[in-house]
Amino acid sequence: MNPDQHFDYLVIGDPVAHSRSPQMQNAAFEALGLGRPYGKLRVDPAKIGEFARFARANLKGVNLTVPHKQVIIPFVDELSPQAAACQSVNTLKIVNGRLYGFSTDGAGIAGAVRENFRISLKDLHVVMLGAGGAATAIAFELGWQKSASVVIANRSADKAEALAEKVRRYCHDTHFFAIPLADESKLAAAIEKADLLLQVTSLGLHDDDPVPMDLELLKRNPALRVFDAIYRPTPLLKRAKELGLPAADGKEMLIYQGAASFEIWTGLKPSIEAMRRGYNQTE
């Protein structure tokens, strides 16, 4: 379980080699004269309990990515209200051997939409592809920010409906709907009315991943803004740009959720510009 060298902070995932969090977070730490205390570690989901024990004894903070955002929860001592509501944890703070769980994915999407499209989430009509850990946190953020409507499209319609029902219990100013991702007629109708399309599944991490939807549906709405949480060029983003649609990858979401994590760990506001510079560096 030990990383190759000692770090106070880690990002864990499976896979995790692609993560830009170390260079981004270390740039923020360096800008405040705090060195480079952040690394990354691949953790098998079956060994998450072993990792939790390691973290209690050795770390100050952790970022979690796919597929650890839910499986870590039984090992956390206390959840923030946001993490408890959405049952998703992407940030751990370790104090005196206790694990405190937080979700900063919501802060990430709000910052990314603001930075990339110069709009807030309030009053938007949104189509969201996915119903996993990141999607759960983002759905709650859309509700808390009072988006007008959110259509959750997922391969498992039952999972999409379960997420919609969960968020409805907390967020009463936003209309949440669930549709099967395979139902192209319903997806097309939703896209035609949407201000923003959010792709928040893990599809696109690998070159051989299938596309998350029929990309020709993007033609249905020339005013659509397209956001893909994957921070690399994906077929969805390429097609959106070919059609002249405003489109953005997950870079700013990673930066803003990372900034929120940094502040949780240290009590200090990081430099967003330093984090952007770090993001663009190679290790």
* Residues 32-85: tens digit of each pLDDT: 999 999 999 999 999 999 999 999 999 999 999 889 999 999 999 999 998 998
pLDDT (mean) for 223-234: 93
Domains, the chain, ordered by start: 9-103+252-279 (3.40.50.10860), 106-249 (3.40.50.720)
Let me know if 269 is exposed, middle or buried by CB neighbors in 10 A (0-12, 13-18, 19+): exposed
Exactly one of 40, 69, 93, 251 is catalytic; name it: 69
pLDDT for position 2: 67
Q: % helix / strand / coil in the chain, to the nearest 5?
A: 45, 20, 40
pLDDT band at 1 (very low <50, low <70, confident <90, very high): low
pLDDT (mean) for 108-126: 97
pLDDT band at 209 (very low <50, low <70, confident <90, very high): confident
Residue 69 a catalytic site member: yes
Rounded to the nearest integer, the mean pLDDT of the chain is: 94
Share of the chain above pLDDT 90, in %: 85
Top-confidence residue, 88 or 126: 126
Strand (E) or helix (H) holding 98: strand 98-102
- Closest by CA position to 194, among listed 160, 172, 217, 210: 217
pLDDT (mean) for 176-203: 96
Top-confidence residue, 170 or 192: 192
Kindly give the pairing relationship between strand 61-64 and strand 91-95. Answer: antiparallel
